[in-house]
Amino acid sequence: MGGVWALFRGLFGAFNAGRAAFTVLVVLFFSVVVASDSLAAGTATSRTAFDGKIASIKAVHLSRAAPPKKLNAVIARHTAQVAAGGGELRGVSKPGVVAADWQKLITRLKGLSRRERVLEVERYFATFRYVTDRKGWRKNDYWASPLEFIARRQGDCEDYAIARYLALRAAGFDDKDLNLIGVTDRRSRQFHMVLAVNVDGEILVLDNQSKRPAATLDLKRYEPAYAINQNNRWLTKRTG
């Protein structure tokens, strides 16, 4: 009987030792997981040049979100069209003239101060006519490249915002100082897009529905949804 009892105690001891080792492994595993999540959370709230500077709006960086594919597709199309001297434009009788107009605009902008560049690019595209994608492109939604916008001299809110964004980038603005902001217009209940530009710490909001750049986003009229540029995507939320 004593031998059986000794055997039982030996097996029980081995079981306890195994259980302890298993517990250590579980604790180590979850420590790594928690640490990884903490690091991810730290990146997820990384600040941008726009944090706290657009009145009552805070941009929260989504570290796990891929760069906006739709915007990058427009940028790639625009880059190819410029490189080809307008040759990639479809249905345009004088694509070379369109490409030359774009280059003249960029050259003119580079000769101005940063604030004057913003005001000039706002004035240049303000002369274009607003039309919906359905009327202009026979599509429910189409983001035109700046050259396509210039060729037709008409487009919708995304076309105004993207053309100004890429013009200012080409004229020397850093991407972190430019954000396309998607909003809902409370009046029309329609999606709308504006461009916010950081000019040496001062925010200027370019909106094709306004006659001049504004220092703040009109929160009585607009409910912000997101902000994007070529490399990042943010969610926008009220801070007050």
More confident residue, 213 or 66: 213
Q: What is the pLDDT of residue 239?
A: 65
pLDDT digits (tens, 9 = 90+) for 163-189: 999 999 999 999 999 999 999 999 999
The strands making up 190-199's β-sheet, listed across from edge to edge, are 57-61, 233-238, 222-228, 178-185, 190-199, 202-206
Q: What letter represents residue 122's amino acid?
A: E
In the chain, domain spans: 1-44, 57-238
Distance, CA of 194 to CA of 178 (rounded, Å): 11
Q: What is the pLDDT of residue 109?
A: 98
Would the pLDDT of 28 be above 50?
no
Q: What is the pLDDT of residue 57?
A: 75
Lowest mean pLDDT among 28-32, 44-48, 93-97, 98-102: 28-32
pLDDT digits (tens, 9 = 90+) for 75-90: 999 999 999 999 889 8
More confident residue, 33 or 153: 153
Distance, CA of 69 to CA of 60 (rounded, Å): 19
Q: What is the pLDDT of residue 219?
A: 87
If you compute the radius of gyration of the chain from its CA atoms, what whole number of angstroms results? 27
More confident residue, 216 or 16: 216
DSSP-based three-state secondary structure for 237: strand
pLDDT digits (tens, 9 = 90+) for 47-71: 566 766 676 677 777 766 677 899 9
Distance, CA of 109 to CA of 97 (rounded, Å): 18
Q: What is the pLDDT of residue 35?
A: 30
CATH code for residues 57-238: 3.10.620.30
- pTM equals 0.79
Joined tokens for residue 129: 């006519």
Name which of 166, 181, 167 is nearest 218 in CA terms.
Answer: 181
Joined tokens for residue 227: 């902000």
DSSP-based three-state secondary structure for 2: helix
| Pairing of β 129-130 and β 154-155 | parallel
> How confident is residue 162, by pLDDT bands cut at 50, 70 and 90?
very high
Mean pLDDT (the chain) is 81
